[in-house]
Structure 1
Amino acid sequence: MHVSQLFIHPLKSAAGLSLESMLIEPRGPQHDRRWMLIDDNGRFVSGRELGALVKLSAIGTTRGLQLAWQGETLQVPRPANDAPRYRVSLWKDEINAALAEPAAHGWLSQRLQRPVRLVYMDEQAARPADPKYADPRQEVSFADGFPLLLVSEAAVEEVNQKAGGGIDARRFRPNIVVSGCAAHAEDSWKRLRIGELEFHNVKPCVRCVFTTVDADSGERDPRGEPLRSLKEYRRSERGITFGVNLIAVGAGRIALGNRVTVLE
């Protein structure tokens, strides 16, 4: 088994970036989901209700965020340490995030055609992972719940066969895609090694309507796929699951082609 694809999503729910290698930090992959949009109430905005977000390109750097929308670009500087802060809500968590400059709010609101504000997760914006599944000292970015998400190529191929095609791995917003195993073999892995770095599988990933949003057009699949097919064979007590959430043991770099070894 080996790593066949790597992705990060610097802005939550925006377009993913394909990488050749990935630096794993305590909160997850470097630059992954460190930025997020919020509404007027401070609640996070995602592709579940705003599918057009997937058409927004976002590249994270140590200096800030580079946005691109239909040929227009904007450079957003990383907020300073004394930047205004805002208490934002992401599912059940509240995070003291840093606000981006006002020009970014206006630029994004105009293009997405709804009022939004852009926030950044700096070192002061601590967010622990769910203590039911992780050490209470484990932190996570603006990802839905855990630092990393892994899916297998075989699982994507299987749902394509059942759904009639048109579904690629990007629909599932993974960080790591693995080739060379059976469909959903990842469900049974407890510990694995990718390259020289060890990972723990903490729980299956429960899926929602965001999987029905086309990764290029931002439009909902008129068939309701792949969720419609997944309901038939991936429903469990947790919900409809696809892929697994991981936590890295330590920090390091992984790359395309790295061998994947199941340790337990």
Structure 2
Amino acid sequence: MSNQAQYATVTATAVGVLGAAYCAYRVYREMDKSRMPRPDEWRKVGTLKELYIYPIKSCAPVKPDHAECTVLGLRNGWLRDRVLMIVDEKNNCVTARNQPQMLLIHPTVRSSILTLTHPNMEPMHVNLAEVIVTQKPVTATVWGLDVPVRDCGAEVSDWITRICNLTSQRLRLVYYASHECRINKKMSSIKANYKFRKNDNGALPDETPYNLLNQASVNELNTRLKNTKVTTLNFRPNFVFSGNEAFEEDKWSFVKIGETVFEVLKPCARCTLTTIDPETGERNSKTEPLETLRSYRQTDDPHMRQASGNSPLMGLQMALRSGSGEVTLNDPIYVV
């Protein structure tokens, strides 16, 4: 076959593949649009009052006044939600459930420089751009799922290990090494009862890239607690809104912040991390607010009960449905 003929064949094949891919994409987008609520179905319920990005899983948040919404989660330049995590010597994810001091690690990001501070330590700086260029991806594990990461180096490893006061093992900081969501190959029949798609797991969050919390629900919970109070930070949300009744969010299927649309995938089942004071890293001796929540926030739905066990429900787990968009503090919030 002549070079011209080969070129024509390859070109035709490529065009055919691209054409098929484009058609499939259009079909996907049309299917996606068909599930979206109509404009006249939305009703306003409140206003976005708090916005949080957690650069490092289980560490303190950053509070920007605006952020871009992507399939991986919130981002503001190099500041991205849960794209870093701390791992043990076997590259398994470590969280503040077992290392509460992690909650006192405060990250900031300026350009590509990640700066970490802690009350008992000198600041630590990590150049994320340099990590990307110099470190080859390796495999780490988050909740039993393999994810590609890049190691952030020995210096920050020593710094974090000292904070957690460990002598028998070293902890390391790793950076998510993909522009795509982690693939959940262990998607169970439990999750299949919800509305998860294959790209709804984000980078390194527990379940979904977005979590929304109702300030009124937190206020209502505080009326029931004795000798302690909680804040929205006990629940580590991305979005906090005000203006609606407590737990009205249980009824919602879609949420629109400004012009950005999210689908509610499931209620958020709460764990022992809520019982650790985010300002001090100290555990509540009576495992509050978890015990109080269990008294009135457990589900009777058998599928949900199978997924959450005896974990009480508070807040919503969501995934992006409208394509990338920006959210800003005081944006109106609409729901269906």
User: TM over 0.5, yes or no?
Assistant: yes
Q: Which residue of 1 aligns with 2:177?
A: 122
Query: Offset of 1:23 from its aligned partner?
Result: 1.5
Point out where structure 2 has 5 or more consecutive residues left out of the alignment.
1-45, 300-304
Q: Which residue of 2 aligns with 1:22?
A: 67
Q: Which residue of 2 aligns with 1:240?
A: 312
Query: Offset of 1:124 from its aligned partner?
Result: 5.9
Query: Offset of 1:190 from its aligned partner?
Result: 0.4
Q: Which residue of 2 aligns with 1:104?
A: 156
Against the structure 1 CA distance between its residues 21 and 124, is the aligned structure 2 distance closer, same or farther, given a 3 Å change threshold? closer
| Separation (CA, whole Å) in 2 of partners of 1:41 and 1:233 | 39
2:331 to 224, 242, 258: 258
Which structure features the higher share of strand residues? 1
Query: Offset of 1:138 from its aligned partner?
Result: 3.8
- Aligned partner letter, 2:105: L
Matches within 5 A, 1:82-161: 82-114=134-166, 115-123=170-178, 126-128=181-183, 132=192, 133-161=195-223
Q: Deviations over 1:118-160 (max 9, x none)?
A: 1001326750365733222445021111000001001101111
Q: Which residue of 1 aligns with 2:88?
A: 39
Residues 1:80 and 2:132 are matched in the alignment: yes
The answer (yes or no) to whether the contact 1:95–1:126 under 8 Å persists in 2 is no
| Separation (CA, whole Å) in 2 of partners of 1:126 and 1:99 | 19
Residues 1:11 and 2:63 are matched in the alignment: no
RMSD of aligned alpha carbons: 1.7
Q: Which residue of 2 aligns with 1:169?
A: 232
| Separation (CA, whole Å) in 1 of partners of 2:110 and 2:183 | 23
The answer (yes or no) to whether the contact 1:42–1:86 under 8 Å persists in 2 is no
Residues 1:185 and 2:248 are matched in the alignment: yes
Against the structure 1 CA distance between its residues 123 and 100, is the aligned structure 2 distance closer, same or farther, given a 3 Å change threshold? same
Q: Deviations over 1:190-228 (max 9, x none)?
A: 012110111100001111100000010000012211001
Q: Deviations over 1:176-195 (max 9, x none)?
A: 00101111111211012110
- Aligned partner letter, 2:64: L
Residues 1:212 and 2:275 are matched in the alignment: yes
Which structure features the higher share of helix residues? 2
The answer (yes or no) to whether the contact 2:72–2:180 under 8 Å persists in 1 is no
| 233-242 or 194-203, larger mean C-alpha shift | 233-242
Against the structure 1 CA distance between its residues 161 and 219, is the aligned structure 2 distance closer, same or farther, given a 3 Å change threshold? same
The answer (yes or no) to whether the contact 1:199–1:248 under 8 Å persists in 2 is yes
The answer (yes or no) to whether the contact 1:96–1:126 under 8 Å persists in 2 is no
- Aligned partner letter, 1:186: E
| Separation (CA, whole Å) in 1 of partners of 2:134 and 2:196 | 31
Q: Determine helix, strand or coil for the equivalent of 1:8.
A: coil
Query: Offset of 1:63 from its aligned partner?
Result: 1.2
| Separation (CA, whole Å) in 2 of partners of 1:22 and 1:65 | 17
| Separation (CA, whole Å) in 2 of partners of 1:168 and 1:208 | 15
| Separation (CA, whole Å) in 1 of partners of 2:182 and 2:288 | 32
Query: Offset of 1:89 from its aligned partner?
Result: 1.1
| 195-204 or 76-85, larger mean C-alpha shift | 76-85
- Aligned partner letter, 1:121: Y
| 147-156 or 183-192, larger mean C-alpha shift | 183-192
Q: Deviations over 1:42-63 (max 9, x none)?
A: 1111011111111110123551
| Separation (CA, whole Å) in 2 of partners of 1:12 and 1:122 | 15
Q: Which residue of 2 aligns with 1:68?
A: 117
| Separation (CA, whole Å) in 2 of partners of 1:95 and 1:151 | 28
The structure with the largest alpha-carbon Rg is: 2
Count residues with an aligned counterpart.
Answer: 263
Query: Offset of 1:94 from its aligned partner?
Result: 0.9
The answer (yes or no) to whether the contact 1:148–1:247 under 8 Å persists in 2 is yes
Q: Determine helix, strand or coil for the equivalent of 1:98.
A: strand
